Amino acid sequence: MLKSPHLEKSDIDHFQECGFVALKNGFSPADAKAIQDWATELAARPEAPGAHWVYHEESQLETGVQLINRIENMTPYHAGLAELADVLIPGVGQLLGEDAVLFKDKINFKMPGGDGFEPHQDSQAGWEAYADYFINVMVCIDAATLENGCLQLARRDGTELVGREWEPLSEAQTAAMNFEPYPTDPGDVIYFDSYAPHMSAPNSSPNIRRLYFATYNKKSEGDHLASYYVDKRQSYPPDIERQAGKSYVYRV
């Protein structure tokens, strides 16, 4: 059974000031290995409608080669990853000051040749239609480095949107932001809220970079996990469920 990461008062203070905090060795080596195994096992499962959601992208290195980009909506279909989402709740509760509930979950599979993510705030993706405030927890699955596109974070200036919904942050909006890379090792954890600007570079290395992300909101603001995925299935379904000839665009 996984052991929940614990945040000290200094960690909580840093999060409140900056909008994020990094925690080394949040999970033990044994727990980190279990999480790695679960991610590998899930990716090896056949894609099927009505199961976990798999998305692909074209390789930046080889034209026409499709890579796994992301797997979402995992907790109903994988007991281990459901356990992971549960054991992260106490730490999020420390940051929220009240009980938390899972809003969404995913693993970003940045394969060699996988693309990066432009600077953005997560609340730009329409999340505020469900609740006012969210906290993400990133769990490092594989070593994340500068070469393979580790997470980069900038301090937020208050809890508000800087950019417009459904658009990455512009150069003008990020001009005064200082994005710092946060290389991580398996078992490391980073907490960041829905207003903390973040980004990552493409994977230009030969090494896979998988990062797990679970997002939570205050329990007092409702349980929106099911409704979020019902809505997302309408606008951006997993690849296996897409209609032929219809265009689907990832925006932020």
Structure tokens at 218: 């205050």
| SS3 state of residue 192 | strand
- Within 43-116, strands assigned E span 53-58, 66-72, 100-110
What are the boundaries of each domain within the chain? 9-241
What's the confidence (pLDDT) of residue 52? 98
Domain 9-241 has CATH 2.60.120.620: yes
Judge residue 80's burial from the number of C-beta atoms within 10 Å of its C-beta, 0-12 exposed, 13-18 middle, 19 or more buried: middle
* Torsion angle defined by CA atoms of residues 36, 48, 151 and 81, in that order, rounded to the nearest 10 degrees: -40
Helix (H) or strand (E) holding 152: strand 151-153
Cα 89 to Cα 137: distance, rounded to the nearest angstrom? 9
pLDDT tens for 24-47 read 999 999 999 999 999 999 999 999
Q: Characterize 12-25 residue by residue with b for buried, 16 or more Cβ atoms within 10 angstroms of its Cβ, and e for exposed.
A: bebbeeebbbbbee
pLDDT tens for 127-178 read 999 999 999 999 999 999 999 999 999 999 888 899 889 999 999 999 999 9
What's the confidence (pLDDT) of residue 19? 97
